[in-house]
């Protein structure tokens, strides 16, 4: 035991500081907001596509329903377009539009003025008339509404 090694106390390394954080924390700080934003956009896009798909199905049902009069079809079309507009856009900005302002809003999605000057003009007034307009072309109106709904993606 005469050759005993001189032992020294254990020297501990300095404590790890919390700053600067490790690279994993930096990546987490950058990726979490990006992932949340991407998820939000995906949900918004899926909701919009679903609204458009359901609206086109409802449009076909209205068009094929023989029990509805043209006035009832106009009312159903107007309600359907309003529901689509509220679902795909800011609801509060669209919900209160009526008459010419509603038709001009609908015109924004299509080239020309098909709603305020074309077959779509009946959506604002024909359902309130006592008699049906003579020049009402329901096929052109349904085609116009279908084009408008397709553009809401």
- pLDDT by residue (tens digit) across 44-69? 888 888 888 999 999 999 999 999 98
The rounded distance, in Å, linking the Cα atoms of 72 and 87 is 22
How is 94-117 classified by DSSP, letter by letter? Answer: HHT--HHHHHHHHHTTSSS-TTTT
pLDDT attached to residue 11: 92
Please check the confidence at residue 134 and state whether its pLDDT lies above 80.
Answer: no
């049906």: which residue's tokens? 132
The rounded distance, in Å, linking the Cα atoms of 16 and 3 is 38
Angle between helices 138-150 and 23-64 (to 10 degrees): 170
What is the model's pTM?
0.71
Please check the confidence at residue 97 and state whether its pLDDT lies above 70.
Answer: yes
Nearest CA among 119, 132, 149 for reference residue 54:
149
Please check the confidence at residue 1 and state whether its pLDDT lies above 80.
Answer: no
Please check the confidence at residue 129 and state whether its pLDDT lies above 70.
Answer: yes
């Amino acid at each position: 035991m005469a050759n005993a090694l001189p032992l020294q106390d254990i020297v501990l390394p300095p404590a790890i500081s919390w700053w600067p954080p490790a690279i994993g924390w930096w990546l987490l700080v950058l990726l979490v907001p990006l992932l949340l934003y991407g998820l939000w956009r995906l949900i918004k896009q899926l909701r919009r596509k679903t609204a458009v798909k359901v609206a086109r199905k409802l449009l076909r049902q209205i068009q094929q329903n023989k029990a509805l009069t043209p006035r009832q079809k106009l009312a159903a079309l107007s309600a359907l377009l309003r529901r689509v507009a509220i679902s795909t856009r800011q609801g509060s900005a669209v919900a209160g539009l009526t008459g010419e302002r509603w038709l001009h809003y609908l015109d924004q999605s299509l080239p020309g003025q098909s709603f305020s000057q074309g077959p779509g003009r009946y959506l604002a007034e024909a359902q309130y008339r006592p008699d049906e307009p003579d020049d009402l072309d329901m096929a052109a109106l349904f085609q116009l509404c279908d084009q408008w709904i397709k553009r809401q993606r």
